[in-house]
Amino acid sequence: MEVDKIIEEENTFNIFKIEFYWYEDDHEETFLGKGVEREEFEKDLKEARDFAQSLRGKEVSKGEYLGKGYITECLPEYYEQIVWFLKEKKGYTICYFDNDTYYRIDDSPSKEDKDIGLTKFEETINHTEL
């Protein structure tokens, strides 16, 4: 059975990355997952942006939206509201990606062995003060 056919038969869960860059290297990125196509995600993202923009200058009090008690007026605050909207109102799931670890499936781990092998790869950083 071909992998493409298996994927078509199953429900697809797509992952989308959103991010922002702000002063002094302030950066955040979020992976959001849901079983929707790109076009629907883009529509939802625009709706979330419009929602965040509608909060400009409004105090967000406890129990409303994120309930942080601030006036929404800068990019990191808009970003938090967009992520909140997509998660709470549109049903997206926040996903975490471990870029330092991956797993390889191998059909012949050794010449004598006929089992399917699993190998874990981890990228590590070692530092020593000089």
Q: Where are the domains of the chain?
A: 3-95
Task: Return the higher-pLDDT residue of 41 and 128.
Answer: 41
Mean pLDDT of 95-113: 80
1: pLDDT strictly greater than 50: no
pLDDT of amino acid 121: 93
How is the chain classified by DSSP, letter by letter? Answer: --HHHHHHHSPP-EEEEEEEEEGGGEEEEEEEEES--HHHHHHHHHHHHHHHHHTTT-EE-TTSTT---EE--SHHHHHHHHHHHHHHTT--EEE---TTEEEEEES-SSSS--SPEEEEEE--------
Stretch among 44-53, 72-81, 103-112 having the lowest mean pLDDT: 103-112
pLDDT of amino acid 62: 65
Where does the pLDDT of residue 93 fall: very low under 50, low under 70, confident under 90, or very high at 90 and above? very high
Q: What's the predicted TM-score (pTM) here?
A: 0.73
